[in-house]
Amino acid sequence: MNRRIAFVSGGIGGLGTEICRHLALCGHHVIAADLGARTERIAAFRAEVEDLAEHIRFEALDISDFDACAASIRRVEAEHGSLDVLVNAAGITRDTTLRKMSQEQWHSVLTVNLDGVFNLCRNAIEGMCARGYGRIVNISSVNGQTGQFGQTNYAAAKAGMHGFTMALAREVARKGVTVNSVSPGYCETAMVMQIAPEVREQIIADVPVGRLGKPSEIARVVAFLVAADSGFITGANIPVNGGYFMDF
């Protein structure tokens, strides 16, 4: 099998970094796309993936910019001949109750977390369909399934991602392209460490396995979904939350 080309938005983030590592270890060539202004984090990321530097490269991209997403994807396709795997892992929080939420807090979360998915999928989907192969994984959240106090913006975006996933999965199923979402619970990431310690401790106490998830525990599910022999799984949402929310 030819080496697959994977594009990971939020690629230098808490989950993104581990997703890039897992995909590289599975034989993908990985483009980790993230904001170019995060210079310190970019340097840390380069150090964290140094052992896989041959297989992972950083690409500066603001996913809220549709034209920039188009240009980035065209560049990857021109350079490598295809873009086979797209993982939408970029996400931000602006937590506050709706009664205090500004329009800016609402729009910034929806723009990055949901418009970003549209911007990348819209530009990647044509090539995937034309080549008859593609794997898209959208990183949603348990809080898109349950809602969370202080997260009307984030929960709306994350629930929206899964509606998007199911609709697109139907549209491209006959073209060899699968579209799935993964809904992580609370994991050991900078985003979760921003929560006030007493609030975080209460959340952890409510997780049946009694701890935060590890980014690698999310990344291995992504690697499973993007495998060539996972072609019968589409439109699914895989919860990875330590039992925090159980559904069927």
Which residues of this chain interact with ligand CAA, rule CB under 6 A?
93, 95-97, 100, 141-143, 148-151, 154, 185-186, 191-192, 195-196, 199
Q: Residues 44, 70: contact at Cβ < 8 Å?
A: no
Residue 137 phi, psi (nearest 5): -125, 125
- Residue of 133, 154, 186, 244 marked catalytic: 154
Residue placing its CB nearer to ligand CAA in the complex, 146 or 230: 146
In 81-189, alpha helices (H): 103-110, 116-131, 142-146, 152-172
Radius of gyration, alpha carbons of the chain: 17
Q: Which of 223, 114, 224, 124 is nearest to 177 (CA)?
A: 124
The yes-or-no answer on residue 154 being catalytic is yes
Give the shortest CB-151-to-ligand CAA separation in angstroms. 5
Report whether 171 contacts 117 (CB < 8 A): no
As measured in angstroms, the least distance from the Cβ of 37 to ligand CAA is: 22
Written as six digits, the tokens of 226 are 């993007």
Query: Which CB sits closer to ligand CAA, 15 or 32?
Result: 15
Shorter beta-carbon distance to ligand CAA: residue 156 or 195: 195
- Closest Cα partner for 82 from 1, 15, 140? 1
Q: Which is nearer to ligand CAA, 37 or 196 (by Cβ)?
A: 196
Cα–Cα dist 138/119, whole Å: 13
Q: Which residue has the tokens 């990857």?
A: 76
The residue with its CB nearest to ligand CAA is 150
Question: What is the three-class DSSP state of 111?
Answer: helix
CA–CA distances in Å: residue 191 to residues 76, 166, 179: 29, 26, 25
Q: How far is the CB of 4 from ligand CAA (least distance, A)?
A: 27
Cα 161 from chain centre: 10
Q: In DSSP terms, which residues pair with 184 in a beta bridge?
A: 240
In the bound state with ligand CAA, the residue whose beta carbon lies nearer, of 166 and 195, is 195
Nearest to 172 by CA among 116, 134, 203: 134
Catalytically active residues, by annotation: 154
